[in-house]
Structure 1
């Protein structure tokens, strides 16, 4: 195995340009001091948000501080991600995180003071000054939250408790990323290799079933050895949610979690119910997998191995870029021009280097262009990763370009829509041009895997979260035995009769980091379903659907997420978008079976 290059050995043309955020670390330091100074100015408004002038002043200052703090945090974390071994940027990231908590605490008096105003008086302020009109939706949303916002002292207390409340997740991440040690197993060639989380998926995709089995058993035996500690951190995380639910006067942790996006609980429940009605499709996919792999017994360690064994197309980064630009041509010239700008203007960090953060993401801060981190390996899957992450980036680009800072960040529930829409359009493009049967089957399987992983698996996670929170809210303790039992039964329900639900999978909940951002994962499934619906409209209707989609991308958080989606004809309060997406899954299953 060749040694990974250092950061310095990577050609600059394949690196992102963080200098577009700060040209030097000295400028970062100046902004850090400036935020500290601006925080002192906030005290001039404490207890004095009693006029249109002061309301405008405090909201403008809040935005200026927020924008600078975001910029500081984004730069520091992305510098750290380039090479996690550099102590300088570890320290910078820690300072930026500490500053963010300080900022949250310093700003915490503003909203309670605004809400203490008489509603009629507050509405009068908005009419009185032109520069307050932009805050109309923000104020409306604040008033919606009035019953759940506490007085200034209590809000300050909750803000100050922010770092402490992150303890369950922090402990989990340290245990899961730093302290946990996995055993040595044999790879395809019989070489002894230490199992790592990064290598695990490669082992699970191995054509050698014994390699898959040994990796699966080694991973989960390791988690089993820590299961009581991990159950304690998971239980503490749920108790944290219940604490905040009680303080904020919500009926359930789920209701509190959805409230910020103005999403009714029925959207979450509809999603689970709709998936339950079409579990037959997931069971059918498992049956196809069992048949394709020629197995008498399908096990949980058999669900990631590629079904098309002999198809492994190599793609250079330059070829991948060209494929993505051509594949996304249905999005129109303006969209493709922005894509091209991203490829040519230092938005993307392409290749893996020593100590670089793994995986892929898109990020950015208001006032600069978006960024994308990749770890490009030259596989066809990397083409989809580029299309996916550039979907996030272009969503950010449109949102930042069309919205003021107060509405520039789109909510997480909408975050996967643009990225998945890109992927769906790319799949369509590649399927139309696939010449070999194996390539077509590979692409179909890739898309089917998305339905399995992003819809069914995430909804199973969502149901697990709902069940465990409800159990804790009713006073039932969440120990390892209880969590294992709930998780096992859900696997049996979701995967069906054609698979052996191995005992080791009972411990999988213990390694899912998303459970520490409670009730987050359902957004993958709703976002994916919305994206499939939108991509179908774009491919059928052309420019008219593209224009509506660009309006959605430009919306940021200027309206509630469900309202923004309605602009592109997607209503998540109804089961239809999820049902429509599952019909696409059904067609994929039909087509794959016809080629077997």
Structure 2
């Protein structure tokens, strides 16, 4: 970067081109963008000619589905390209217009293709199987057809489905109401920061305050945030309870036995996976309690409180990691996956797949994104920290997972589910952690790495499972006809915190209101997938480290995309999420880390 030594955030033009992604690999110029847009418009008109006749024959069915796939691929290219250009500099008005144009096209594409699945479902699966026997090229859609007809028993009549569709606008308002309150309307008090300055407490600054070495700053931030939510507890409870009742309404309408079953049905995940996660994590809670005791001892506290959970217990350590250093270390850590994987990784590093540094107007955070017809890309805001190196390997895990899926699957089977989405990225992180631990001789750095790894377990497995248990309890109460109130929600959540963190934690009633600030509680049994995905990844990484032949199975996982159900894809790679073994195996790693740290911390 041309002004890398300066603290001033550079403009886009001031960033060296070698640190920018090259979106020309997707679309070379505005003329090509418009050409693809025009082709999409033509395809939308053409696909309409199949309405009411898609299942006339195997030929018309195949022609319509391939036309839809081509339309989706073309639209996806426009949509991703426009948004990624916009993310380079969100102040770019031209890109804002392009994004709006792509969003308008998205609505047209969805409307134009909406007739396809209802018309297919008017047939029986045996009819479709007969079509496949007549037209062998339809075989690529076998999993798609099977999954579509699997869901048929919970699809209502046209009239009933139309009624539910009309209700979707106001049924989604519950989440929108919470989002507007939580993102726009809520205001927090001012507190004193580490320098004694009066600053406004915000959600964005909250974690930074909790990481402070000054305990009073941590306490003031905690009290300021949760007291604000607590002042609106009844309103927030009403919003959350309405959301639970919405889920119960839809599970009844579609004839599911529980809201949990209705949610997991979409990806064909048995409810046993959810309940087994809670039970297995519960068996390892004594190890979490032991970790809390270690944290209390390391911080030299008489009593540990919830606002003490995020502050580092290892300080005064240099974790600066430049981008060139990070690339070299990540490559070395992933050599266990073989030359093919690391060669592809080097190719990505050397051919502008990654947008590395922050610039004015650039979207914050990090992600991997791309299209079926081009290689994946990665957006970073690299700031030379060890955490940034973990982010780099994490996002490259996503990118190469997408690369292998797209290269080995037809478009219809290329997209992997959320249940699988975090596996490859976390495998990369686990392999990087193993490499760093094995090559580090500095005891303080080793402690830092151990604690970093343990915090990932705490935040991703234990905390998300606690969230999952809260969702399960609250939905079951409403399904049983029992009343939920603000007090009841706080009581449930408080008791879960005591259960997960142990009785050595201070009795702080304010933690009971934390449920009111978690946006994922409006995503309908979503958070458990963070814990299962992380556990699957740790189990896979252990297999790779302990048995090099497991790499072949891992590559099959990377190449599978969405060609089968998530549980089957994982099972074929050696991880059976139908059993408790992967979760227990991952938590055994956590247990060993706890014991290792316990032996070092005085």
The 8 Å contact of residues 274 and 579 in structure 1, kept in 2 or not, is answered as yes
How far, CA to CA, are the matches of 1:197 and 1:25 in structure 2?
39
2:259 corresponds to 1:253: yes
SS across alignment from 2:237:
helix
2:477 corresponds to 1:467: no
Pairs within 5 Å for 1:443-592? 443-476=449-482, 478-542=484-548, 544-592=549-597
How far, CA to CA, are the matches of 1:184 and 1:90 in structure 2?
35
- Select which of 205, 215, 220 maps to 2:226: 220
Pairs within 5 Å for 1:252-331? 252-331=258-337
- Select which of 62, 70, 89 maps to 1:83: 89
In the TM superposition, residue 156 of structure 1 has moved relative to its aligned partner by: 5.8
How far, CA to CA, are the matches of 1:250 and 1:186 in structure 2?
51
SS across alignment from 1:372:
strand
How far, CA to CA, are the matches of 1:337 and 1:574 in structure 2?
35
In the TM superposition, residue 187 of structure 1 has moved relative to its aligned partner by: 2.2
Provide closer, same or farther for how the CA distance between residues 501 and 550 of structure 1 changes in structure 2, counting only shifts above 3 A. farther
Provide closer, same or farther for how the CA distance between residues 311 and 175 of structure 1 changes in structure 2, counting only shifts above 3 A. same
Q: Deviations over 1:68-127 (max 9, x none)?
A: 333333233333333344455445445544543443343332222212213332211011
Residue 3 of structure 2: aligned partner: none
Deviates more, 1:244-253 or 1:315-324: 244-253
In the TM superposition, residue 343 of structure 1 has moved relative to its aligned partner by: 1.6
2:67 corresponds to 1:73: no
In the TM superposition, residue 459 of structure 1 has moved relative to its aligned partner by: 0.4
How far, CA to CA, are the matches of 2:448 and 2:323 in structure 1?
20
How far, CA to CA, are the matches of 1:121 and 1:145 in structure 2?
17
How far, CA to CA, are the matches of 2:91 and 2:495 in structure 1?
41
Residue 46 of structure 1: aligned partner: 51
Provide closer, same or farther for how the CA distance between residues 438 and 344 of structure 1 changes in structure 2, counting only shifts above 3 A. same
In the TM superposition, residue 492 of structure 1 has moved relative to its aligned partner by: 1.3
How far, CA to CA, are the matches of 2:534 and 2:473 in structure 1?
23
Residue 35 of structure 1: aligned partner: 40
The 8 Å contact of residues 207 and 309 in structure 1, kept in 2 or not, is answered as no
**Count of matched residue positions in the alignment of Structure 1 and Structure 2:** 595
2:344 corresponds to 1:338: yes
Provide closer, same or farther for how the CA distance between residues 407 and 346 of structure 1 changes in structure 2, counting only shifts above 3 A. same
How far, CA to CA, are the matches of 1:11 and 1:384 in structure 2?
23
- Select which of 410, 416, 428 maps to 1:422: 428
How far, CA to CA, are the matches of 2:33 and 2:242 in structure 1?
36
Q: Deviations over 1:440-465 (max 9, x none)?
A: 00000011111111100010111112
Provide closer, same or farther for how the CA distance between residues 470 and 21 of structure 1 changes in structure 2, counting only shifts above 3 A. farther
How far, CA to CA, are the matches of 1:568 and 1:511 in structure 2?
37
Residue 23 of structure 1: aligned partner: 28
How far, CA to CA, are the matches of 1:403 and 1:155 in structure 2?
32
Residue 203 of structure 2: aligned partner: 197
Q: Deviations over 1:15-69 (max 9, x none)?
A: 2223333334554455445434423333322221231111112211221222233
How far, CA to CA, are the matches of 1:88 and 1:501 in structure 2?
54
Q: Deviations over 1:498-548 (max 9, x none)?
A: 112523322322222222322111111111111111111111111x21111
How far, CA to CA, are the matches of 2:81 and 2:172 in structure 1?
22
The 8 Å contact of residues 101 and 162 in structure 1, kept in 2 or not, is answered as no
Provide closer, same or farther for how the CA distance between residues 498 and 595 of structure 1 changes in structure 2, counting only shifts above 3 A. same
Provide closer, same or farther for how the CA distance between residues 18 and 186 of structure 1 changes in structure 2, counting only shifts above 3 A. farther
2:419 corresponds to 1:413: yes
SS across alignment from 1:554:
helix
Provide closer, same or farther for how the CA distance between residues 70 and 149 of structure 1 changes in structure 2, counting only shifts above 3 A. farther
Provide closer, same or farther for how the CA distance between residues 229 and 16 of structure 1 changes in structure 2, counting only shifts above 3 A. farther
SS across alignment from 1:124:
helix
In the TM superposition, residue 477 of structure 1 has moved relative to its aligned partner by: 5.1
Q: Which runs of 5+ in 1 are unaligned?
A: none
Deviates more, 1:216-225 or 1:31-40: 31-40
In the TM superposition, residue 134 of structure 1 has moved relative to its aligned partner by: 0.8
- Select which of 168, 184, 188 maps to 1:182: 188
In the TM superposition, residue 485 of structure 1 has moved relative to its aligned partner by: 2.4
Q: Which runs of 5+ in 2 are unaligned?
A: 1-5
Q: Deviations over 1:125-165 (max 9, x none)?
A: 01111221111111111221120234556556656665655
Q: Deviations over 1:304-333 (max 9, x none)?
A: 111112223211111111111111111111
Provide closer, same or farther for how the CA distance between residues 350 and 221 of structure 1 changes in structure 2, counting only shifts above 3 A. farther
In the TM superposition, residue 209 of structure 1 has moved relative to its aligned partner by: 0.9
